Structure 1
């Protein structure tokens, strides 16, 4: 097998018998509707000479294949599936997803064991709480206690395992994490209760706390289950983008033939053909064909986008219908999808500054807790030895810093996920805190407030009906794919023109039914006396229509500016374009503070001047020629998609191009800060209120366990409000 083939198979294939043996690959199958489809797929693949085993799971639509890549090519496997009426893509995320599945399954089993046995222990312990004096015989009471002890053993050995292993790792690393007091509290409670069971007259007293212990473990595992779910949802979102690229692309040769190659083999300038239902393997430009493309995975926009010749397409988006020929412009690390993956990985792996401070506070707090518990146990040993262990355990449990250490990560990660669903990807989580202080939003114009397309602003003619000429011009413009012509046509159907000819740099010309030659294009080409106020002209001889095309503001630009003002933000427009164009855009969006003809140096000076006056600036640009001013701003957001993703140092990337995400981000940042403060305040209040109660002996271990688990659950659920 060639080295290139091995590299292609590596992300989704394992080699049980070594590189020269059989390969075990995972695929995701599309087009399955019932269990019978599994048999069809398996039969089709088993006909191939190098396939040993083909197994399809109808529930998950995943194919497990054991085969010899040296005998049959990957392209042949995919082609066999397509011939059978199905599509398949290699499942590169299978190993990570399997690890998460195992982690989730094990966590659920631990929670089930702890919860189920907790109910049984509570059932056995209830008679001791409700029986009147003399109603429960000592033999029956002792038998019920032994039953509680037996049922608690699986909780200690299996369900509580993560706490003990986590505490051991933390102690070996010389750190005091939140697992240390939890594990110590569980162990001390179990040992003390076991001693009381075996020797009721001994130094550990006669009280047992197996019901409190099992409930404590169950509640804490429930809180961790919610935390695990939040982590896995973030990983699933990342995989959805990372796995959006196909594993093979159809590259067109110069002689008209084609070949299937991995995306890594594509180069800038290659031509690829993308059939209906396939994903684009690279960023590029449509060279032939037209159809609808779903870019929801990358931009968050669910509505399909029409694509025709000249339109840009991004890797990972799905061609919904028709066949498109695409000229490759960006490959590998420069593609939009890979840039998004890197940004998401960078954001999800970051630890915000506040989180690090909280972790250090929690470590010191844990040390104080251990000393408090030890001191309380020694003091109560002299006061009332039978209660010393219970009070020390209650102090350990009630002061566990779970809520404190979960407060910041739960809020930050939930907020970043909520912004990602709105199309705003955070590369730096600390930007959320800085967004709270912003009072000035500065926009670039071209590519930021304006779309890539143009729109007709006004038209005029001398000695002719301008509206009638405009209708004729639109019908001719429909025959051209030039951006100016497409903006003018605006969906108008093409007319009955003959001898149509398009000249590069000039425009398009054609003859009408009477044989007259009409031209649409550069004013100097259409007329001997061009109107300098026009960008485009249409005419025949002395009959000329002048057209002024302008940049179109984004669909939600006006709403975004209005929403920012409603939040108390100053909105400024800073552009290097001509004053007339900038004034038109500012007027259309009701922006009173604008500056035109700004160079990168003057933009930088302007932002620094506003900052010197005490303003906190959020700069929104396209990342192309705004690097200096973006670097100087307090918060930096880059618009659009492209190769700059791989090298952008912006705080966030607006992949959806929806400007309403900006006021939403500012509002969510302030809400995140409120939620974070609520979480920290709750953790502080909880400890301040419960520690004295535990030290005084008024808070039994059962109540302490409920309070500690409830506090952890509170901060996680409170952070989930940011998803709304």
Structure 2
């Protein structure tokens, strides 16, 4: 009896890498856009590489790729986000090479390229074309099969001659071959890859159902004797149901793929491509067109209207408006003039201008934002991992139920046994269950990115929706940055010596990211022009305390808090005010003193005025309205913190717990106490000393102007430092979590309702395929609401 067995895939397994491809992947310069290099706690080097994947056909493919990557010696962590077709791998360069990561993915039957490479874009385009061709072949053949099957449905008993009925069956078999050998290839390929890895993937029940139905129909077509019911396999053919199921399922998956691409485009649309070339003015004033890759820091460039800015820099000539949605989430143009900064990826809208390059490539703000977004797209959320853990046992249960249904129906009606078993296998595929969380969270991340809030960890969206306490840093977070230098007191009385002390304070403050240091460095003043270097050796930067350095005479100087500077500094913080002077407002202060103070010397005190940051009051009011507890944790002096709290209350802010003199250790201890009491804590900060508490919090937010370390530790980064976006982000997170619940409930209810129909013989295999495709499509479509 002739038969046909479908090929395991519609395309050959990706070939091994050739020598040139391996060399390109193992070149660190070539991996710069997709790999982050860092030192582990033990001092050894680590790499974190993001790969763009192709060939994924169901949520279960992610587990197969993860297993293949984790089996490599030297891979410490591998996470695959199937919805975004991204993998994030942490590996040891001393144990393996980047090319081995790609080869492991290819050996598992998929393909991989470094993220954001041209090869990755080409692979995505090829995958889209191949999916469209599979869909076209399935629908075309389905219509032809339905045409040749129609006479069997419309003719009465005895009206269709046996030889003509047999000819129609042969025609249905021939027309089904392209569907099985090409269109349905991804289902068989995915199932086989999972079995090789010892995993029961979601396409296994689908592949079994297709294979059983096709083989049974083939046997019925070619067995001797007149066509008709009977025999162990029922004697019926299901070529029409088979091709209809494949067509419906591929249509659902193609629409699902389009939905995933829509989410990816929502994220990528914020990352406007840099120009390939730009006009540069050389030292002799001549203008030449050069590739962006040939630019260097200090080059002077001309930007035409409509041109994207190729690097971070400042304007030197001309005025124009720039679209800086990438930086601050605002779609309104921002005016810029000479001396003002422009960022890579922003768009010149109005007039020609000249700019000077200050940062290129990975050092630009654009590159940092791309890094944050890619990290979020590659992460696999906890909700998705939980759904995947349940999917394995669920699939085993489906296989057992299908076998049981076949055995029972063999006793009731042998002709219905196979259709029932196939319908059970198909209708219960948990694709929708595994798509429920990642598709929603990715859509929410895209919506937040459009508002200028970058998500670094998808799990943070769930955590943000569940917080009940919000903690804030004060200086630079709730207060405006930069502060204004209001008064300088203490120090030596002689003008020349006093100017020298101020110069040392300015030199120590230069380059520090702390708001008080930035305010002091920007203030300028007497003594800023000093011919000889003020300090020798490296500057010490102690988070939460201050700065220290040694001058050419060997004397140590400290700038920072009273405790850091030494005894006697605190007494200068709140001086007695003469009669008629304005009352003390607890203004922020920073101290300067040599170590140790000589007899008759006293520390110098710099006082600053601070204003409430725009948006602080609406944020606090919105969070309190949602029932959150509010706390202010500041390293500033208790008097300054109390004065700031009083200013908040006078402006109409809700009551909040205040804690001053909070070192990084005390802030960390407070968060740990809150968490020990069962609270879920949000921490908002921007300074270098906020790194530990940002890492400890259940969910953390860093502001766009803050220190790089705080942004690396934070789960979300608010571009443009617009505080009300934090409240809006929480509302969107709660909406996303509600949509995840809707999707999970829908997926479970669908299976609970469809399974009895399939086991009772009410649901035909083609209808089961239609229901499965509709279920996945509903989940993806509902998930897209989280991005709006």
- Structure 1-normalised TM-score? 0.68
3-state secondary structure, aligned to 1:203: coil
Q: In 2, Cα distance between the equivalents of 1:406 and 1:103?
A: 20
| Structure 1 match to 2:613 | 553
| Pairwise CA RMSD | 3.9
In the alignment, the residues of structure 2 paired with residue 395 and residue 591 of structure 1 have an alpha-carbon distance, to the nearest angstrom, of 57
Alignment of 1:426-505 (within 5 A): 426-450=455-479, 452=481, 505=525
- Cross-structure match for 1:188: 212
2:301 match: secondary structure = strand
Structure 1 position 351 matched with structure 2 position 364 = no
1:391-424 CA deviation, whole Å, 9 max, x = no partner?
Answer: 2212211222222222222222222222222221
User: What displacement does 1:593 show?
Assistant: 1.8
The match for 1:465 is none
Any idea what SS the aligned residue of 1:553 has? coil
Counterpart of 1:279 in 2: which secondary structure?
A: coil
Equivalent-residue separation in structure 2 for 1:212 and 1:304 (angstroms): 56
Q: Is the Cα–Cα contact under 8 Å of residues 686 and 706 in structure 2 kept in the other structure? A: no
1:215 and 2:244 are equivalent in the alignment: yes
Deviation at 1:266, TM superposition (A): 6.0
Deviating more after overlay: 419-428 vs 321-330: 321-330
1:159 to 2:183 alignment: yes
Deviation at 1:389, TM superposition (A): 2.0
Cα distance in 2 for residues equivalent to 1:274 and 1:316:
15
- Structure 2 counterparts to residues 88-167 of structure 1, below 5 A: 94-167=118-191
Query: Are 2:569 and 1:569 equivalent residues in the alignment?
Result: no
The verdict on how the C-alpha distance between 1:215 and 1:645 changes in structure 2, with shifts beyond 3 A counting, is farther
Matched length:
561
- 2:714 aligned to which of 650, 660, 678: 650
- Does structure 2 retain, via aligned residues, the 8 Å contact 1:117–1:155? yes
Q: Note if contact 1:280-1:315 (Cα within 8 Å) is conserved in structure 2.
A: yes
Structure 1: gaps of 5 or more residues: 1-6, 13-91, 458-502, 507-528, 536-547
Matched, 1:312 2:341: yes
Aligned residues of 2:259 and 2:781 also touching (Cα < 8 A) = no
1:167 offset after TM fit, Å? 1.6
Q: Which residue of 2 aligns with 1:416?
A: 445
Equivalent position to 1:369, from 376, 398, 414: 398
Name the stretch that deviates more: 147-156 or 429-438.
147-156
Return the match for 2:755 from 691, 694, 697.
Answer: 691
Aligned with 1:393 (options 400, 422, 438):
422
Which residue of the partner structure matches residue 656 of structure 2? 593
Structure-2 change in CA distance of 1:437 and 1:240 (3 Å): closer
Q: Is 2:431 aligned against 1:402?
A: yes
Q: Is the 8 A contact 2:372 2:454 kept in 1?
A: yes
- How far did residue 100 of structure 1 move? 1.9
Equivalent residue for 2:69? none
In the TM superposition, residue 431 of structure 1 has moved relative to its aligned partner by: 0.9
Cα distance in 2 for residues equivalent to 1:157 and 1:450: 66
Assess, with a 3 A threshold, how the Cα gap between structure 1 residues 603 and 266 changes in structure 2: closer, same or farther: farther
Q: Determine the structure 2 residue equivalent to 1:272.
A: 300
- 1:454/1:552 contact within 8 Å kept: no
What's the CA shift string for 1:599-625, capped at 9, x where partnerless?
Answer: 434544544454455432211222444
Structure 1 residue 186, shift from structure 2 partner: 0.9
What 5-or-longer segments of structure 2 have no aligned partner? 1-26, 33-115, 487-522, 527-579, 588-607
Would you say 1:629 and 2:693 are equivalent positions? yes
Alpha-carbon distance, 1:504 to partner: 6.0
Scaled by the length of structure 2, the TM-score of the pair is 0.63
| Residue aligned with 2:712, SS | coil
Counterpart in 2 of 1:707?
Answer: 771
Q: Which residue of 1 aligns with 2:787?
A: 723
Give the deviation of 1:171 after TM superposition: 1.7
Once the two structures are TM-superposed, the CA of residue 246 in structure 1 deviates from its matched residue by 3.9
Q: Does 1:283 align with 2:283?
A: no
1:234-256 superposed Cα distances (whole Å, 9 cap, x missing partner): 44355545553345566667776
The whole-number CA distance in structure 1 between the counterparts of 2:127 and 2:709 is 33
Q: What is the CA–CA distance in structure 1 between the aligned matches of 2:783 and 2:133, rounded to whole Å?
A: 26
